[in-house]
Structure 1
Amino acid sequence: MNGPALPDHSPSSASWRIALPHTAAAVPVARALVRTALAELEHAADSDTAELLTAELVANAVEHTRGDSPIELVVELLPTGCQVEVHDRDPAPPGNLTRPVPGDLDPWQEHGRGLLLIRTLSSSCGHRATDSGKAVWFRLHAVPGRRGPS
């Protein structure tokens, strides 16, 4: 990792950005960062869902992109929810993230459900080109009436 995550606190939002190794070890670190970010501000987004979807994005970046360049996790907390992005150096889009492909998922396969989970459980998701590759993201709305982790 390239140093600690740096929170950017403002009255209406906060964000964290951290470089993660291009290995499976990045997944639990990313989950912990999201959990900590949501707990620190007593944020009302669902932490369990945010952790699960973050793990899927990071695992996909590690598994489906080449090289050993770090990947980057960006967590942004907003008054209406949160957005999580994973940046990698591969400019290729992440398969069928925003649109399912008919017959795409075999329920008996061990792999292949990550993008389905992201599409199903997030309020929105997508990807965008960056100067150094791409960012894949999802958003979660705040849970009404919830003041943060219990």
Structure 2
Amino acid sequence: MNGTALQERPSASASWRIALPHSAAAVPVARALVRTALADLEHGADCDTAELLTAELVANAVEHTAGDSPIELVVELLPHGCQVEVHDPDPAPPGDLTRPHGGEPDPWQEHGRGLLLIRALSSSCGHRPTESGKAVWFRLPVVPPQWRPA
């Protein structure tokens, strides 16, 4: 599906699904969609963290999958938090998403910290097979009002 689709659900839930190009141009579009989704609904999840982790998932999908098939971003806002999924055509699971690889990333390398960030900053994360490849996801909880910036 091209473009955004908003579906209102009971309990102030909403979801968006958008096809993104299989290129680096997808990253800023995905970041903007997540930020807009959380801000427009005044959702309690941390916008900055959601935006950062979304950028990591989209960048990984673009970098580590072959071809030019679009990737898909799914954002689901729930009363208890949010879940972000990135669907790509490669069925191979992402390396080291749910467990550390056994060493610290090299501080001089530009790559190698994305999955570490997702593991460290999300309340949970994982992947699942889909009909056309896989979905990699993370969840963030609602931040209590007293912990939110003014």
TM-score range, shorter chain: over 0.9
| Map of 1:79 onto structure 2 | 79
| Map of 2:7 onto structure 1 | 8
Mapped partners of 2:108, 2:25: distance in 1: 26
**1:101 Cα deviation (Å)?**
1.2
| Map of 1:39 onto structure 2 | 39
**1:127 Cα deviation (Å)?**
0.2
Runs of 4+ in 1 over 3 A off after TM superposition: 146-150
Percent identity between the two aligned chains: 79
| Map of 1:133 onto structure 2 | 133
Count of residues in Structure 1 that have an aligned counterpart in Structure 2: 149
Q: Which amino acid aligns with 1:138?
A: F
- For residue 39 of structure 2, give the secondary structure of its aligned residue in structure 1: helix
- For residue 60 of structure 2, give the secondary structure of its aligned residue in structure 1: helix
Contact 1:42 / 1:148 at 8 angstroms: preserved in 2?
no
Greater relative contact order, per chain length (Cα 8 Å cut-off, separation 6+): 1
Mapped partners of 1:146, 1:69: distance in 2: 43
Tell me the C-alpha RMSD between the 2 structures. 1.6
Contact 1:47 / 1:149 at 8 angstroms: preserved in 2?
no
TM-score normalised by length of structure 2: 0.94
Please give the per-residue CA displacement for 1:4-48, whole angstroms capped at 9, x wherever unaligned. 200111122100000000000000000000011001111000000
Mapped partners of 1:129, 1:52: distance in 2: 24
Mapped partners of 1:127, 1:148: distance in 2: 29
| Map of 1:62 onto structure 2 | 62
Q: Which amino acid aligns with 1:3?
A: N
The verdict on how the C-alpha distance between 1:58 and 1:141 changes in structure 2, with shifts beyond 3 A counting, is same
| Map of 1:18 onto structure 2 | 18
| Map of 1:103 onto structure 2 | 103
TM-score normalised by length of structure 1: 0.94
Mapped partners of 2:34, 2:87: distance in 1: 15
